[in-house]
């Protein structure tokens, strides 16, 4: 009697060390942004208590990279009308009366150092249980923003994220995902501290509306809508 050979599970108890040399070729898009393609080799070194082998944890990778930043600040007379900015973001939203943490990032086109338009996406990282089930959500959309320079190290902005979301939960007993797509709209205002000519730290407050396109048992649109606090670290030529 024959059948498929089961794949052995990789045990990660105990952890492992990673060394990953890489090589990448970049092409400059603007003075503060570049796009590149590269390859790397991940060497996973198991430590005591890890059942995985060196061969199971190691392997080659290929990647496409979009990077931001400047070796030196760009003088105002050299700044271009269009530039790119990108960043990482953490959001803390009220979901079903609890605080859920979202993590994500974005890329934006900056126009005349005052307007931005771009794309951003988030996923729920942790924080919420609904009737014993783990809340799950992902969202992505288009972002538009108007930046007001207050002079000195401060700036404020108003913007809006509009897109789609998947909201639901993972059932504790079965592991099944119960959810539905939703329409997302989230106007936001931000206060930014200008750390350098190409780095800003922002704190934002938004009112998030998430409207599922069909019923999710035990979850209403009012459960996934409400105030949101965001913390962003953004890089680029503003």
Q: What pLDDT score was predicted for residue 78?
A: 57
Residue spans per domain, the chain: 15-68, 76-236
**Segment 1-23, tens digit of pLDDT:** 344 444 444 444 556 788 888 99
Architecture of domain 76-236: Beta Barrel (2.40)
Question: Are 157 and 147 spatial neighbours (Cβ–Cβ below 8 Å)?
Answer: yes
Phi, psi at 72, each rounded to 5°: -140, 155
- Below-70 pLDDT ranges, the chain: 1-15, 31-32, 48-51, 68-80, 237-238
CA distance 68 to 117: 16
Threshold 0.75, pTM exceeds: no
């Amino acid at each position: 009697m024959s059948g498929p050979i089961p794949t052995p599970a990789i045990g990660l108890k105990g952890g492992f060390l990673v060394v990953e040399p890489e090589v990448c070729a970049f092409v400059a898009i603007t003075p503060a942004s570049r796009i590149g393609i590269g390859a790397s080799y991940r060497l996973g070194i198991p430590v005591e208590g890890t059942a995985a082998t060196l061969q199971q944890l190691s392997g080659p990778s290929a990647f496409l990279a979009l990077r931001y930043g400047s070796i030196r600040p760009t003088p105002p007379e050299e700044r271009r009308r269009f530039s790119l900015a990108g960043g990482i973001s953490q959001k803390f939203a009220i979901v079903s009366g609890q605080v859920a943490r979202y993590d994500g990032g974005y890329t934006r086109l900056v126009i005349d150092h005052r307007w931005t338009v771009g794309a951003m996406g988030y996923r729920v990282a942790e924080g919420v249980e609904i009737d014993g089930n783990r809340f799950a959500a992902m969202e992505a959309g288009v972002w538009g923003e108007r930046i007001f320079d207050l002079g000195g190290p401060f700036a404020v902005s108003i913007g809006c994220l509009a897109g789609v979301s998947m909201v639901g939960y993972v059932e504790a007993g079965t592991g099944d995902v119960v959810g539905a797509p939703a329409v997302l709209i989230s106007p936001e205002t931000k206060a930014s501290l200008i750390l350098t000519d190409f780095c800003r730290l922002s704190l934002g407050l938004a009112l998030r509306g998430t409207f599922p396109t069909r019923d999710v048992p035990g979850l209403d649109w009012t459960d996934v809508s409400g105030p949101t606090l965001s913390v962003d670290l953004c890089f680029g030529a503003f």
